Structure 1
Amino acid sequence: MTNHSTEHRDRPLAGTVALVAGATRGAGRAIAVELGAAGATVYATGRTTREHVSEVGRSTETIEETAELVTAAGGRGVAVPTDHLVPDQVRALVARIDAEQGRLDVLVNSCWGGDHLLLSTWNAKMWDIDLDQGLRMLDLGVRSHAITSSVALPLLVRRPGGLVVEMTDGNAEYNRRFREQFYFDLAKTAPIRMAFALSHDLKDVGGTAVALTPGFLRSEAMLDHFGVREENWRDACAREPHFAVAESPVYVGRAVAALAADPDRGRWNGRSLDSGTLAKEYGFTDADGSRPDAWGYFRDVVDGGKDASADDYR
C-alpha cells in the first residue's frame, strides 16, 4: 500500500511539468535534475546534442545526457533540441509539451551560452567591443528569454499557480553597485527586469515570476577554467581565493525545486533572489552539506572590507 503522505514529501513535484530552457550544462542542467528528483517531468532544451555542437564549443555536455540524469534522479526527462532564438522552434517545442502533457507549470529561462564572447572582451571599453559580438550577447541572454516567455506563457497561464524563473548572474543589489562589461551588464540585468514586469502580468492569473542567480558557480566550464574537477575544486583557491565560497550547480537546482514546491511562493513575486537566500529560507544545502552565501560574502567581505573568511559564509 502506498503511503501518499510520504510520496508527496519525497516527490513534491509529482505531476508537475517543467520546461528548462538552456539545460545543457551548469545551472540549467542542475535545475532540470533537481526538479526531476522532486518528481517532475522536465523538458530539457538547448543547442548541443550528441549530433550537434553549438557555438559554445563544448561537446562534453548534451541535452540528451541532461534528460537521462533527470530520469535517473526520479523524474522524467525529455530532451528537445531547440534554438530559443528561432521562434518557430520554440513554438514547435511548446506545441509538443501541450500535446503530450496539456499543461506547463514551471518555466525556467536559463538560456545564455555567451561566455566565449564575454571572456575575450571582459576589460574592454564598450566602443572597443565588436558590435556584432555585443549584439550576439544580447540575443543569447535577452532575446532568447523574451521569445521563450512569449511563446510558452499562454500554456503556463492556462492553469493558475505557474512559476517563471528568470536565471541571471548577480542579484539586483550587487548589479546596482557594480558595472560589468557593457553588453554583459545589460544581459544579466535584463532578466531581473523581466521577472519584475512578468510578476505584474502573472499576478492577476495566480502566477509567480522571480529572477534567480547562483553564487560563484562551480559549473563545468568554470572548473575547466581553473583546471580542477569537482572532487578537488578547492585547489583553485590558490589561484582565486574568493573561489572558496563557490557552490556547485546542485545548490541553485535545489533552490528552484524548493520554489516550485512552495504553495506560498507568490510572496517572492517580482523579487531578485539568490541561492544562498533561498537556502536559508527553505533549509536545503549544497551537495556537500554546506550552505554558501556568496553574495553576502562579496557584499560584506570583498566589497565591504569586513574581517571574515569565505568559510564564515558557508
Structure 2
Amino acid sequence: MNNTSPHVDKTALQGKVALVAGATRGAGRALAVELGRAGATVYVTGRTTRTQVSEMGRATETIEETAELVDAAAGTEGAGIAVPTDHLDVGQVRALVARIDRDHGRLDVLVNDVWGGNHLLDFDTRMWDIDLERGLRMIDLGTRTHIITSSVALPLLVRRPGGLVIEVTDGTARSNQDFRENFYYDLTKNLPIRMAYALGEELKTVGGTAVAVTPGFIRSEEMLDHFGLTEDTWREGIDKQQHWALSESPLYLARGVAALATDPDRARWNGTSLDSGQLAREYGITDADGSRPDIWGYMLAERAGETPNLADHR
C-alpha cells in the first residue's frame, strides 16, 4: 500500500477515534490506514488474526497487520488497535465498544465494512435453487453485522455532535436499480444504502451524518488472487476482461472517504450513497497511480444505451 498521500492532512482527525468494522483486507484495511494517516486513532476489527482464520480461509491478511499499517501511516505506534471481533456476536461487539469507551470515551467515525460473503455467491442461480442457509449466511454477514454494530456503537458516537457513519457496500441507489444477479446478494448490498438513509434521518437530529459508499471494480487481495494477478501485474487482465482497465486499488475509495471524514461540510451528503469516482471528483482524489477510474459512470452510460469510451472514464 502506498505510504504517502498528497490528499490527507495528517492532523485533520487528530484526537478523533474511528472504528473500522471489517478491516482485515481490501477496502476496510485501506480505509483504516487512511483514517489513521489523517490523525485518527483507529480500532480495526475482523475475524482473522495471526492465531485464527475466518471461514474465508485467507490467513495471509490479519487485523494485526492492518493495525501495523495504520501505525506506519500515522507515524505513531498505537494509532491502530486490533481487536478480534465477530460482529454477529452481540457480546463481542458490546465488549469492543465498552473498551473504546473506557480507553477513549468517544467514537467519532464508525465504518461498517463487514462482508466476507464472496465465497457464498451463486451468480446465474435463481433464488429457489440456492441453499437457504447459504443465502441467509450472506445476509447475516453483510447486513446483520452492520445493524448489530450500529445499534451497539451509536450511543457512544452520538455522545458528541459531528459523528460520522460510513456504510460500505457495492453500488449506489442509482446504480443498483438493476438486479444484482443473485437474490441474496441484491438484498445484502442494497440494505446498507437504505441504512445510510435511515440513520442519516436520525443522526441529523444530533448533528451527525451517515453516508453509504462503494468502490468500483476493486483490486482487493481476494480479487487479484481470483484472477491470478498481483497489484504489479493487474493490467494483464485487461485482455480477458475489458473492465479491468477501469479497476481501482483499495486506496482510491479510502482516500475519498478520508477526505469526506475531514470535510467540515460533509453533512451535505447525509443519507446519500456515493461511489469512489464521485468522491474522487468532489475531493480531487486520484488512485495510487494518478488515475481517476469511474466504472460506475461507465456502466450507467452503457445502461442508457450509449457506447462510452473506456479512456473517458479513467
Give the alignment's TM-score, normalised by structure 2.
0.95
**Alpha-carbon displacement from aligned partner over 1:206-241 (angstroms, at most 9, x marks no partner):** 000011100110110111111110011110111111
**Alpha-carbon displacement from aligned partner over 1:263-294 (angstroms, at most 9, x marks no partner):** 11000000011111011111111111111111
**SS across alignment from 1:175:** helix
Say yes or no: does 1:101 pair with 2:104: yes
> CA offset at residue 305 of structure 1?
4.2
Cα pair 2:243 2:295 within 8 Å, conserved: no
Q: Please name the residue that 1:85 is paired with.
A: 88
Q: Distance in 2 between matches of 1:65 and 1:170?
A: 28
Q: Distance in 2 between matches of 1:123 and 1:177?
A: 14
Q: Distance in 2 between matches of 1:169 and 1:99?
A: 34
Q: Please name the residue that 2:259 is paired with.
A: 258
Give the paired residue count: 304
Structure 2 unaligned regions, length at least 5 = 1-7
**Which AA in structure 2 matches 1:117?**
L
Q: Please name the residue that 1:23 is paired with.
A: 23
Aligned-residue Cα RMSD (Å) equals: 1.1
Q: Distance in 2 between matches of 1:304 and 1:178?
A: 16
Question: Which one has the bigger helix percentage?
Answer: 1
**Which AA in structure 2 matches 1:133?**
R
Cα pair 2:199 2:271 within 8 Å, conserved: yes
Q: Distance in 1 between matches of 2:193 and 2:142?
A: 12
Q: Distance in 1 between matches of 2:106 and 2:311?
A: 43
Q: Please name the residue that 1:5 is paired with.
A: none
Say yes or no: does 1:66 pair with 2:55: no
Q: Please name the residue that 2:220 is paired with.
A: 219
**SS across alignment from 1:166:** strand
Bigger shift: 286-295 or 130-139? 286-295
**Which AA in structure 1 matches 2:32?**
A
Superposed, 1:153-232 pairs within 5 Å as 153-232=154-233
Q: Percent identity?
A: 68
> CA offset at residue 255 of structure 1?
1.4
> CA offset at residue 11 of structure 1?
2.5
**Which AA in structure 2 matches 1:240?**
Q
Structure 1 unaligned regions, length at least 5 = 1-7
**Which AA in structure 2 matches 1:97?**
I
**Alpha-carbon displacement from aligned partner over 1:172-215 (angstroms, at most 9, x marks no partner):** 11111234200000000000000000001100100000111001
Cα pair 2:179 2:186 within 8 Å, conserved: no
Q: Distance in 2 between matches of 1:308 and 1:268?
A: 28
